[in-house]
């Protein structure tokens, strides 16, 4: 295993992060393809044996049962100081807004719930999962700073965000002496490269780490044409993200297959070897042991500059998909801009 410092922090994380969205009670929550607690424990045990020390979950994953499974497994299998645990919180619900619960209190309530699920006193990385357009940026950021000051999180991060939003939030944090975001978790892989337009440049300039999700495009970059899985059959969100661009994306997938055959490796290794040249620690989901084993093997594959160019050449611009497509700013009502005008 290789390790890297995560942005402007002292967190030393494995180059592969185990994404835990596939863990949790499959009878509840958003996803019917998740796995139960015993197979979750097997995958976490194997990950630890392979040197993985970075685990990413969220309060939204299967109504908190992902956090519960991950927390119990790590408490049984590892010393707390040897692992880096990240979790995420969601925007305020309409019920909270109606009840007068502000952004700061929402963030604190959320971390308290996550820590209870995990059975831990703190997380290493607390992540703003989806931008909350109904709550002023200052309220969220000050709430996250409260969490850090209370010792309930060591560092903070953000996900599903535009470059302007990340830059604005860190500028607000610097102005107020609050904790700044040390990493960003956005949608980025070989067939979805829109992060390269602005976000990647911002991250390089400010030493903000990239820990992208959907590293294998929900399996599209790991399966040969005709192969399928329970997730590909049941994950409607995966189809929402990728079906519209399937024809153009398949040209890239074909080249992944070609290089995998040339090097005698799995597609996973080619796809992740490309991504590992771009980011610090991609988040790789696993619902079977060979998923995490294949991900770790990608560290042994070194693609040439010609390989990289060959994989990248067919790419065409994509519209944003997934969370970024449905959670859009409304400039006249966006609290970020309202607040900015008020403070001008």
Torsion-angle region of 160 (φ positive above 0: left; ψ -120 to 50: alpha; else: beta)? left
Q: Which residue has the tokens 């044409």?
A: 225
* Phi, psi values for residue 126, rounded to 5°: -110, 125
Query: What average pLDDT does this structure show over 156-183?
Result: 97
The pLDDT of residue 32 is: 87
How many Å apart are CA 59 and CA 117, to the nearest integer?
A: 8
Closest CA to 215 of 247, 188, 235: 188
Decide: helix, strand or coil at residue 335.
helix
- For residue 183, the tally of other CB atoms under 10 A from its CB is 26
**Host domain of residue 276:** 3-343
Question: Which has more confidence, 243 or 60?
Answer: 60
In this structure, what DSSP letter does residue 315 have?
Answer: -
From 3, 61, 69, 162, the catalytic residue: 61
CB 240 within 8 A of CB 254: no
In the chain, what percentage of residues exceed pLDDT 90? 81
CB 226 within 8 A of CB 238: no
How many Å apart are CA 249 and CA 315, to the nearest integer?
A: 7
Catalytic status, residue 61: yes
pLDDT at 73 over 80: yes
The pLDDT of residue 344 is: 35
The pLDDT of residue 320 is: 77
Decide: helix, strand or coil at residue 187.
strand
Q: List the CATH number of the domain containing 59.
A: 3.20.20.100
Q: Average model confidence (pLDDT) for the chain?
A: 91
Number of structural domains in the chain: 1
Q: Which residue has the tokens 């991609």?
A: 282
For residue 198, give every residue at least 6 positions away whose Cβ sits within 8 Å of its Cβ, in sequence order, or none. 162, 163
Q: Which residues pair with 159 in a beta bridge?
A: 185
How many Å apart are CA 252 and CA 258, to the nearest integer?
A: 10
CB 67 within 8 A of CB 118: yes
In the chain, what percentage of residues exceed pLDDT 70? 88
The pLDDT of residue 218 is: 83
The pLDDT of residue 338 is: 40
Query: Over the Cα atoms of the chain, what is R_g?
Result: 19
Predicted confidence band of residue 325 (pLDDT cuts 50, 70, 90) = low
Of 254-263, 298-307, 326-335, give the lowest mean pLDDT range.
326-335
Which tokens belong to 165?
């939003």
At 215-262, the pLDDT tens digits run: 999 888 998 876 766 655 655 556 556 666 778 889 999 999 999 999
* DSSP-assigned states of every residue in 110-150: HHHHHHHHHT-S-EEEEEE-S--TTS-HHHHHHHHHHHHHT
Q: Which residues pair with 89 in a beta bridge?
A: 128
Q: Which residues pair with 77 in a beta bridge?
A: none
């Amino acid at each position: 295993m290789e390790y890297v410092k995560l942005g402007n922090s002292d967190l030393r994380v494995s180059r592969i992060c185990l994404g835990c969205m596939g863990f949790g009670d499959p009878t509840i929550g958003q996803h019917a393809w998740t796995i139960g607690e015993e197979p979750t424990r097997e995958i976490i045990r194997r990950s630890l044996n392979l040197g993985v020390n970075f685990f990413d979950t969220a309060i939204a994953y299967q109504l908190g049962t992902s956090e519960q499974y991950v927390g119990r497994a790590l408490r049984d299998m590892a010393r707390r100081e040897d692992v880096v645990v990240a979790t995420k919180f969601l925007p305020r619900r309409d019920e909270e807004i109606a009840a007068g619960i502000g952004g700061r209190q929402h963030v604190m309530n959320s971390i308290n719930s996550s820590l209870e699920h995990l059975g831990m006193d703190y997380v290493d990385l607390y992540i703003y999962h989806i931008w909350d357009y109904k709550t002023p940026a200052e309220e969220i950021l000050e709430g996250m700073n409260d969490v850090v000051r209370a010792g309930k999180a060591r560092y903070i991060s953000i996900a599903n965000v535009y470059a302007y939003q990340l830059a604005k939030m860190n500028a607000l944090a610097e102005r107020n002496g609050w904790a700044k975001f040390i990493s960003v978790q956005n949608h980025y892989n070989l067939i979805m490269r829109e992060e390269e337009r602005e976000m990647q440049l911002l991250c390089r300039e400010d030493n903000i780490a990239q820990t992208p999700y959907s590293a294998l495009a929900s399996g599209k970059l790991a399966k040969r044409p005709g192969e399928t899985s329970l997730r590909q059959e049941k994950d409607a969100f995966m189809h929402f993200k990728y079906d519209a661009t399937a024809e153009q994306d398949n040209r890239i997938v074909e080249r992944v297959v070609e290089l995998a055959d040339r090097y005698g490796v799995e597609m996973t290794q080619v796809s992740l070897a490309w991504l590992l040249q771009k980011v610090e620690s991609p988040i790789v989901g696993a619902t079977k042991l060979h998923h995490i084993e294949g991900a770790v093997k990608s560290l042994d594959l070194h693609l040439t500059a010609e390989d990289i160019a060959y994989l990248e050449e067919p790419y065409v611009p994509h519209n944003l998909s997934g969370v970024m497509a449905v959670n859009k700013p409304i400039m006249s009502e966006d609290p970020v801009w309202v607040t900015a005008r008020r403070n001008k």
